[in-house]
Amino acid sequence: MSKQPSSAQTVSFCGIDVSAKTLAVAVQQQDRPLEQRQFANTAAGHKALIAWLGKREGTARVSLEATGMYSLDLALALDAAEGVELAVLNPKTANRFAQTLGRSKTDAADAAALAEYSQRMPFARWRRPGRGALELRAVSRHLATLTEERARLRNRLHAAESSAIAPRCVREDLRRSMAGLEKRILRLRKEAVALIAQDAEMRRKFQRLIGIAGIAETSAVQLLGELAALDPEMTARQWVAHSGLDPAHRISGSSVRAPSKISRHGNSQLRRALFMPALVGARFDPHMKAFYTLLQQRQKSKMQALTAVARKLLHAIYGVFKTDTPYDGSKLFPGLKQA
C-alpha cells in the first residue's frame, strides 16, 4: 500500500537507524528544524520512543531498515502504536537513497536520511506478519545456528580422532557434545514442523516446497521460516532483491566493465537456505542441471552458475506459492534440453 499524505494531514517524518543496543532517531516536521534523539533498543526504549513521537500532532510516518531481530521487536511495537505508520525497508533501498544525499556514514546521518526518505519517497506501509510465521522464523534461524555449530563440532571431532595425541577424554567429550547437538536439532525440527501444521497457509506452502527438486524437510523449514513472514503483495523481483541475489552491475563509460556480482544486500539467511537446494537441483533436476551447464558453457564460473540457479529456484518457489500448483521445471527453464 503506497500513499502520500494530504495537505490537510499533519505528518512527522521519522527515520530510525537500528543497532543492537541503540536507536538513532531523526524527526522532520514542516518548517521546523530536524530533531534527533537516541533511545535504547529495549522494550523500555521502544516505549519511550513511542511516547516521544506521540508528543507531536497528527501521524508519525516512520522508516527503518530491516536488520533482523534487532529491528523486529521495534517494528512490532511501532506497528501497534496509535498514530504511527511504519515502513520497513530493504537495506539496499535505504543505502542507495542515502548515497544520493552524499552525507557522512554515521548513525545520526543514517537516521536523518531515513527521515528524508519518509518525506520524499512513496510510502509502503509494513504489513505485520502473523504470530505463527514469526515463531517459525525464530525456530528456523535457531536451527540454522545449531547446524553451523554442528559443522564446526564435526570438524573438531574429526581432527581429534585423526590425532595421535588427542586424549581419550577429549574425544569422548566431543562425541557426547555431537550426540547432544543432534538431539537438539531433531527436537527443534519437529517443533518447526508442528508449528507449520497448525497453520493452513504455511502447511500448504510447506507441501509445495518439499515437492520441488532439491528441497527436503530441513531446507523447507529454513526457507519457509524466511518466506512466510514476507509481505504477500511482494513481487518475485522484490523477493530476489530481498534475498540479495539480484545482480549488481559495475559499468562506467567504455573502459570499466567489471564482472557482475550479486548485491548481497538483504536477507542472508534466505540466501544460505537456498544454497544447498540449488546445489542438489543443479546435480539431479534435469532442468536446473541443463541451465547450470549452459551457464558454464557461457564461461560463467561454478559459483556464478550456482547463484543463478538459486535465483531461478526462488522464482520457482514464488510461482508455486502464488498459483498453488506443483513445481514444473519446464516452465522455469523453457527451451532447455536435458544435459
Residue type, 123: F
Question: Which DSSP string corresponds to 187-212?
Answer: HHHHHHHHHHHT-HHHHHHHHHHTTS
Q: Residues 24-65: pLDDT tens digits?
A: 999 999 888 999 999 999 999 999 999 999 999 899 999 998
Tell me, yes or no, whether 96 and 84 share the same domain. Answer: yes
Instruction: Return all residues near 306 (Cβ < 8 A) that are at least 6 apart.
Output: 275, 278, 279, 282, 292
Residue 1 belongs to some domain of the structure: no
Q: Is residue 3 part of a domain?
A: no
Q: What pLDDT is attached to residue 252? A: 43
77 and 38 both lie in a single domain: yes
Residue 56 lies in a domain: yes
Q: Provide mean pLDDT across the span 299-312.
A: 93
- For residue 7, what is its C-alpha cell? 495537505
- Whether the predicted pLDDT of 236 surpasses 70: yes
Examine the pLDDT at 265 and tell me if it is beyond 70. Answer: no
Q: Are residues 218 and 292 part of one domain?
A: yes
Question: Mean pLDDT over residues 258-262, rounded?
Answer: 58
pLDDT given at position 191: 97
Q: What is the pLDDT of residue 112?
A: 93
Give yes or no: residues 107 and 142 share one domain.
Answer: no
Contacts for 171 with CB less than 8 Å, ≥ 6 apart: 157, 160, 161
Place of cell 540449488: 278
Residues 223 and 317 in one domain: yes
Regarding whether 335 and 220 lie in a shared domain, the answer is yes
Res 2: pLDDT = 44
Domain end, chosen from 179, 198, 217, is at 198
Number of domains the chain contains: 3
**CATH number of the domain that 67 lies in?**
3.30.420.40
What mean pLDDT is predicted for residues 98-124?
Answer: 87
Structural domain that includes position 163:
131-198
User: Which of 124, 152, 187 corresponds to the end of one domain?
Assistant: 124
Using CA atoms, how far apart are residues 128 and 105, in angstroms rounded to an integer?
29
Is 265 in the same domain as 333? yes
Q: Using the predicted structure, report yes or no on whether residue 221 has a pLDDT greater than 80.
A: yes
Q: Which pLDDT score, from 0 to 100, does residue 241 have?
A: 84
Model confidence at 251, pLDDT cuts 50, 70, 90, reads: very low
Query: Looking at residue 99, what is its pLDDT?
Result: 82
Q: Which of 124, 159, 177 is the endpoint of a domain?
A: 124
Task: Please give the pLDDT value at position 31.
Answer: 81
Q: What percent of the chain has pLDDT over 70?
A: 90
CB-based contact 14:53 (threshold 8 Å) = yes
The pLDDT of residue 257 is above 70: no
Q: Is the pLDDT of residue 163 over 60?
A: yes
Highest mean pLDDT out of 66-70, 110-114, 247-251? 110-114
235-244, 275-284, 290-299: lowest mean pLDDT where? Answer: 235-244
Residue 68 has pLDDT above 70, yes or no: no
Helix orientation angle between 69-80 and 43-53, rounded to the nearest 10 degrees: 40
Q: How confident is the model at residue 9 (pLDDT cuts 50, 70, 90)?
A: low
